[in-house]
Amino acid sequence: MSAPERATLVLAVDGGGSKTDVVLLDIAGDVLAWERGSGSSPQIDGLEQSVHVIDDLVRRALGNHDPRELACVGLYLSGLDLAEEIETFHAAISPLSWAEGAVVENDLHALLRAGTDAEDAIAVICGTGMNAIGVRSDGATVRFPALGPLSGDWGGGAELGDAVVWHAARAEDGRGPETALVALLLRATGAPTVASLIEDVHLGRRSDQGFAALAPVLFEAAAAGDDVARGVVRRQAEEVVAFVRACTARLDLRGADVPVLFGGGVARGRDPFLLESIRAGLQEHAPAAHLEIVDAPPVLGAALLVLGVAGADQTAMERARAHLSSDRRLTRMPVATG
């Protein structure tokens, strides 16, 4: 195949702990393909599996297109929190035909771009895990290692789900207060007792894929007034506020009117008690900041970023935003397998 006369396509990838989106667009902002597969966070799934999932989805999205038609490729992935991790991932994809010159970054950049054009802004992602980024108009940036308890982190769907099991176990055996989480957990899992659930996971009789899927159980109990559940949700809100407080302090933006973009599956759930608690915390620690929920898929931000690098005009940006503003436009959702 002869080389294309000029590169006219861009490729955007957003990879998280639970799903990966790959979108192929032309320079005019039209979506030519949108593929979705399983999670591709190197931190959760490992480097080799992450590359495998993304490569499979990219090849599906490209179809019969020559990779040399790509003007820009951008990969924005959960779990790439350190410069060394980004370099390692970049090296891992370098042999792939579509990856020449690819931009590799943390998925927070995609969330930030999907939610705002503001030069001073903060983004907090609360999906399977949790992380945040703050940016200032002069280019200053605040980032966090996001390595779990090792770097002082708590929160996100995985730990909210773990909290359901933790509190239910203690309630059932008498070490902790009574809570509606016991009955809700048993209903969600089909286990006869919390003790049997724990035993099955421990002995390998039940697949241990983490308890992130149990996060809605926590919010259901909190909405019904369960004190234990409300305490956990309140702690999640405090973690969101802590990220914002750190960003505004380190960027000297405490008095600035900055958007706080809140994204990820937990955020998009729009739990009233969680949002009420976050806003109360922001009023105390960052009174000029305003919370905004990002409903658009983060791959929208990835697409806008690669279009910008490729020199697309504002009309193209608006067209891409219209195409990618909702998951409803995604009609095919294949899952990449290992």
Record the tokens describing residue 180, joined without a space: 């509606």
Q: Check for a shared fold between 9-107+298-329 and 118-295.
A: yes
Enter the tokens of residue 329.
């436009």
pLDDT of residue 332: 46
The per-residue pLDDT for 17 is 84
Extents of the domains making up the chain: 9-107+298-329, 118-295
The CATH architecture that domain 118-295 belongs to is 2-Layer Sandwich (3.30)
pTM for the predicted model, two decimal places: 0.86
pLDDT at position 34 is: 96
The pLDDT assigned to 227 comes to 98
Q: Among 63, 47, 37, 75, which Cα is nearest to 337's?
A: 37
Predicted local confidence at residue 318, as pLDDT:
96
pLDDT of residue 327: 78
Enumerate residue ranges in the chain where pLDDT < 70: 1-5, 208-209, 329-338
Q: What is the pLDDT of residue 1?
A: 37
Fold for 9-107+298-329, please state it: Nucleotidyltransferase; domain 5 (3.30.420)
CA distances 76 to 16, 279, 303, Å, are 9, 28, 10
